[in-house]
Amino acid sequence: MAGEAFGQAADRLVVDVWSDVMCPFCYMGDTLLAQALEKFPHASGVEVRYHSFLLMPELSDDDAPVSPTELLSAKHGLPREQAQAMNDQVAERARQIGLDYRLEQAQAVGTRTAHQLSHFAATQGKQHELVQRLFQAYFTEGLNVADHQVLGDLAADVGLDRDAALAALTSGQFADAVEADIEQARQYGIQGVPFFVFAGKYAVSGAQPVEAFLQALDTSWTETVGSPAAAGTTSAGAGR
């Protein structure tokens, strides 16, 4: 899907999402968007596409996993206790919307390979299921989402062919697609995630309340798919 961001089909509403597997607010944002879609009467006409973003590009997929608390402490020069308290606050916010964050056992790693698997899943019509599985694996199960065998298992969990998924990762088939997403985010000035673009023109940044997503869905649907002039309409950039 790389290189197709902000494209809007006449018969459906496209929501483009930049996120990262290790981003706690991305998991929350994705969940809140899903909750908004449950209340949106035209949900069957909405297509959500995921794009790669590296929250911590300094991490390599080959590096040994590190504790998110230790990483936060080192990156921002915080006492470990303060970093732990910040992560506890994030976990509590996640709990309020039904998510189970167990950051004490999470393994922070490079996520380029996980993003490649997301692109593979997109070609099989399973991207959303795979992204959700990756979030759960990282935040709740403490799995190493840079490990090929773990990723193969996660692919199989959502109904993808495990061997085909591993072959795609080994060959680096989708490595360029990941880099294209990252470059596209840079070109559009996206500096933080999650970042949602509705119909190529309305942007929502962060894990906003369900009501904010519903408003974006309503507005973008009305002006694109639900508009008499929707056919043939396209947008080139995101509004902030």
The DSSP code sequence of 133-165 is: HHHHHHHTT---TT-HHHHHHHHHHTT--HHHH
Helix, strand, coil percentages for the chain (3-state, nearest 5): 50, 10, 40
What confidence tier does 5 reach under pLDDT thresholds 50, 70, 90? low
pLDDT tens for each residue of 49-64: 999 999 999 999 998 9
pTM: 0.90
- Range 13-223 classified under CATH 3.90.1300.10: no
d(CA 237, CA 195): 14
Average pLDDT over residues 100-105: 97
d(CA 133, CA 60): 21
Please name the residue ranges forming H helices in 159-209.
Answer: 162-171, 175-187
Between 161 and 4, name the one with better pLDDT.
161
pLDDT tens for each residue of 190-218: 999 999 999 999 999 999 999 999 999 99
Distance (Å) of CA 17 to CA 2, 50, 201: 12, 5, 13
